[in-house]
Amino acid sequence: MDLALTFLTLGGLFLAGLAADEIGRRTRLPRVTLLLAVGLIAGRSGFDLIPREFEALFEFLSVTALTMVAFVMGNAFTAQKMLQNGRVILWVSGAIVTATLIVVGGGLIWAGLAPATALILASIATATAPAATQDIIHQSGQTGPFPDTLRGIVAVDDAWGLIVFSFILVFAAQWTGQSSDGILPGAARETLGALALGAALGLPAAYLTGRLKRGEPQQTEALGLVCLTAGLAIWFHVSFLLAGMVAGAIIANRARHHERAFHEIENLQWPFMLLFFILAGASLELGMLVEIGALGAAYVVLRIVARILGGWLGAKLGGAAREQRPWFGVALMPQAGVAVGMALVASETFPELAPVIMTLTVGTTVVFELLGPPLTLLALNRVERSKPSVR
């Protein structure tokens, strides 16, 4: 690989990503969509400015970025947060993930997709966009039970989705014959292996990190832990997403001396995510997007239906106020980085499915990044107007 060309490409992508990020902040256009567009323009379907040799770094960047995301998501599973968030959050998040898996998976199978492919896409559809949802809640300026419950749901929603995705990926590998184990033994081995690895790293890290600098781990500690988790997970052929989430949850619950256990990971995460989104956009094939247009439209419709049904059912079972029940699913439509990350992991596991998985996920992510925020704001406003007036 030409060293000068590598540095020039990195510099150009960082600056282009910075410009897209700043435009998103100033205009409230979805930043993920803008970064994907930068990649599309610079990639093979655009001006083909990204050298082929640079694409070899994509897997390294994506695994690093997604392992960081998994650690931060583990922070949602602290005992304190689970108690504070209450049964409504657990019921709504669980029902939405379950309904999405059933409705999207079943609908795509009915449309003619192979069961393994349909379930992979359905598990990707469970992901939401916590940052976009939080931004809209903040923008609305609303407070009260409904916005607070939404914040709690997006804190755990993607974590449930990643767990489901990890199971489905193992199941699909067994189903398609990519593993010699049986379906259940193979799923159990890989899942339990990821849980064991996360615990083996998380327990000592909870005690050891944050000791050199009181209150929080240093960047070197954070990077070392992320890379160690990703490397060992790949080595042992288990899910680095699930291992990272388990390690993060253990650290969040047991590291009493930490004041900001994930602060340094959050600081390091965005540059990797920026390159990740750009390169994901660069992998999009416009010709393939046209070919799967009907499939993409079905995916969008099925996901919308699933989230509305799941949100209503979960809210009813969780005992949410009647006026809030129809609006949970509507408020949780945005889909962004975690979905693209899942698609990339699935594409690397099943290269023969990569064109369909990546193109459909990136294309529909753009749709949901445009539709999702206005729908979230609509839900917030409708619930706010339905509140009984106080005299």
Between residues 252 and 56, the one the model is more confident about = 252
Report the distance separating Cα 159 and Cα 93, nearest Å: 10
Give residue 195's pLDDT band: very low, low, confident or very high (50, 70, 90).
confident
Model confidence at 101, pLDDT cuts 50, 70, 90, reads very high
Inform me whether the pLDDT recorded for 41 exceeds 80.
Answer: yes
User: What six digits make up the tokens of 210?
Assistant: 């944050």
DSSP state of 179: S
Sign of CA dihedral 325, 327, 330, 331: negative
b/e per residue 113-137 (b: at least 16 CB within 10 A): beebbbbbbbbbbbbbbbebbbbbb
Question: Measuring CA to CA, how many Å separate 329 from each of 46, 108, 157, 313, 372?
Answer: 35, 20, 12, 10, 11
DSSP-assigned letters across all residues of 20-75:
HHHHHHHH---HHHHHHHHHHHHSTTTT--S-GGGGGHHHHHHHHHHHHHHHHHHG
Report the alpha-carbon distance of residue 71 to residue 63 in Å, rounded. 12
* Span 232-236, average pLDDT: 90
Q: Phi and psi (nearest 5°) for 278?
A: -65, -45
Sign of CA pseudo-dihedral 99, 103, 109, 110:
positive
Residue type at 150 in one-letter notation: L
What average pLDDT does the chain have?
A: 80
Q: Is the pTM of this model over 0.95?
A: no
pLDDT at 215 > cutoff 50: yes
Is 50 exceeded by the pLDDT of residue 358? yes
pLDDT band at 310 (very low <50, low <70, confident <90, very high): very high
Confidence of residue 261 (pLDDT cuts 50, 70, 90): low
pLDDT at 346 over 50: yes
pLDDT above 50: residue 149: yes
Query: Could you give the percent of the chain with pLDDT greater than 70?
Result: 82
- Domains assigned to the chain: 3-385 (1.20.1530.20)
String of DSSP letters for 209-263:
TTTTTTTS--HHHHHHHHHHHHHHHHHTTS-HHHHHHHHHHHHHHH-TT-SSTTH
Per-residue confidence band for 42, with pLDDT thresholds at 50, 70 and 90:
confident
Query: Rounded to an integer, what distance in angstroms lies between the CA atom of residue 106 and that of residue 100?
Result: 9
SS3 of residue 178 by DSSP: coil
